Structure 1
C-alpha cells in the first residue's frame, strides 16, 4: 500500500505479534475498567445503605445481600471457643490479626463479630491473648462480607485458631458453628484493638490508572507496528 512518499507493507510475523500483544493489552485494560466499576458500584451501595435505619438482628438471616453495608445491632453471648484470628491484616503499615468472635443470639442464631485489629507480638505465629467478654453483650457496627477471592500464602490455611483468610463455609466446617453469611465490623472496637472499617471505594483510581496504562501500551504497539512496516520510497 502506497501512502504518499511511503510504502506500507505489513509483514506476517510482526503483524501476528502485534495483534496478539494488542489483544492482550486491551483485555487487561478492560479488566481494570471492570474492577473499577465493581468498586464504584460497591461504594454507591454503601452510601445508600448507610442512610437506612439500624437493623436489629434476632432471627437467622440466610442471604447476606439485603444486609451487607447496613448498620446492624445484635444482643447475645460470645462463644469463646469459636474465636479465630485472621492473619496478615495490615493497619497503619503494621501486620496483625483481625479478631473474629461468634455471638450467639437469644434465638440461637450466630453471627461472627469482627472485634478489631491487633498487632503481632513476640509469640507470633501464635496470636496475642485477646479476652472474650462474658455475659450478655450488645454490639453494633457495619454488616460486611470478606473478599470472595483471596490469596493463600500456603496450603496450610488453618492452623489452630489462626487462619489465612475468612470463609464462612470454612468456618462452619472447622468450628462447627453455623454462622450467618456476613460479619459485623463492630464500632467502637473492643478495648486494646483498632477499628476495622469497610472502604469499598479504595483503589478505584488505581484501577483507572492501570486501565489507562494498558490502553496506552496497546496504542504504542499499534504505532510501532505501523512504523516497522512502513518504508520511505527511494
Structure 2
C-alpha cells in the first residue's frame, strides 16, 4: 500500500513539473510575441514619422563607415553623383509573387568620391545572380537620386563573392568594390524624379501590427489550459480515486447482447 502511495506521489510530482515547464514556456513565448508587437509599433512609428518628411542631403543622415540611427530607417535622403555600373552588386535569391530574381545595388559616386549604395530595384532573373544580361544598366552621367535609408545586414549572408551577396552590408560591399561608402544604403525612390527603368521598385513596409497580439494570447491560453487541465485531473482523482481502480461501465449495446443470449 505504501509503495502504491509513493508511486502515486511520484507520478503526480513529475506531472506537475511537466505542466510547470509547459506553462512557463507558453508564458515566455507569449511575452516574446508581445515584445515583438511593441517593436513593430516602434518601427511603424519611425516609418510614419519619416515618410512625410522632405528628403535630406545624404551627408546629414549617413556617415562614412557609420551605423544607421534607429530613427533614420526609411528616412528619405537625396544625393547627386554618377553610377559606377562596373561595380554593380546583385543581391541573390529575392522573390516577388512567387517569381525568383535579384535586387540590383549600384554605387553612386558623389563629388567627393564617397559612394552611396543604391538598391535600384528588383528584376526577375536567375536567383543565383550569375546571369547579368537581364540586369538593366543605370543611367550614365550625373543623376540625382532620392531613396529610403536602410540599415546594414549582418551575419554570413552579407559575404560578397564575385560582386554578389545575399544581404547588403556597406562595409563588405565597400571592401569588395574598393570604394569609400556611406554606412547603410538606400532603396531607390527616383532618379532625376523618375523611377528606375526595367526594375520593380521597392516594396514599402506594411504599417500594421501583424499577428503578434493574437499569437501572444494563444500562447498564454495554452499555458492556462495546461494548468487548468492539471488541476482538474488532480481534483478528479482526489474525488473519485485513480481511474485504473474505478469500475468499468458496461456499454448499453453489450448489456443488450448479454440479455438476449440469456
The answer, yes or no, to whether TM exceeds 0.5 is: yes
Check whether the contact 2:160–2:173 (CA below 8 A) recurs between aligned residues. Answer: no
TM-superposed deviation, 1:42: 0.8
Check whether the contact 2:76–2:146 (CA below 8 A) recurs between aligned residues. Answer: yes
| Alignment of 1:13 onto 2:14 | yes
Check whether the contact 1:126–1:162 (CA below 8 A) recurs between aligned residues. Answer: no
Q: Which residue of 2 aligns with 1:233?
A: 239
Of 69, 75, 79, 1:74 maps to 79
CA distance in 2 between partners of 1:159 and 1:34 (Å) = 36
Q: Which residue of 2 aligns with 1:83?
A: 88
TM-superposed deviation, 1:84: 0.9
* Structure holding more helix per residue: 2
Check whether the contact 2:170–2:185 (CA below 8 A) recurs between aligned residues. Answer: no
TM-superposed deviation, 1:58: 4.7
TM-superposed deviation, 1:213: 2.0
Q: Which residue of 2 aligns with 1:175?
A: 177
TM-superposed deviation, 1:102: 0.8
Q: Which residue of 1 aligns with 2:247?
A: none
TM-superposed deviation, 1:232: 5.1
Give SS of 1:141's match.
Answer: strand
Q: For this pair of structures, how many residues does the alignment match?
A: 221
Q: 1:82 to 1:122 in 2, by over 3 A?
A: closer
Give SS of 1:87's match.
Answer: strand
TM-superposed deviation, 1:178: 2.8
Q: Which residue of 1 aligns with 2:244?
A: none
Of 184, 197, 200, 1:194 maps to 200
Of 126, 134, 139, 2:131 maps to 126
Q: Say which one has the larger Rg.
A: 2
Check whether the contact 2:88–2:106 (CA below 8 A) recurs between aligned residues. Answer: yes
| Alignment of 1:56 onto 2:57 | yes
Superposition TM-score, scaled by structure 2 size:
0.74
CA distance in 1 between partners of 2:144 and 2:105 (Å) = 16
Give SS of 1:233's match.
Answer: helix
Give the superposed CA RMSD.
Answer: 2.7
* Structure holding more strand per residue: 1
Q: 1:41 to 1:147 in 2, by over 3 A?
A: farther
CA distance in 1 between partners of 2:127 and 2:92 (Å) = 15
Q: Which residue of 1 aligns with 2:218?
A: 213
Q: 4+ runs of 1 displaced by more than 6 Å?
A: none
Runs of at least 5 residues in structure 2 that lack an aligned partner in the other structure: 1-8, 241-262
Q: Which residue of 1 aligns with 2:147?
A: 141
CA distance in 2 between partners of 1:93 and 1:44 (Å) = 30
Q: Which has the higher contact order (CA 8 A, sep 6+)?
A: 1
CA distance in 2 between partners of 1:22 and 1:173 (Å) = 49
CA distance in 2 between partners of 1:111 and 1:225 (Å) = 60
Superposition TM-score, scaled by structure 1 size:
0.82
Check whether the contact 1:39–1:200 (CA below 8 A) recurs between aligned residues. Answer: no
Check whether the contact 1:146–1:166 (CA below 8 A) recurs between aligned residues. Answer: yes
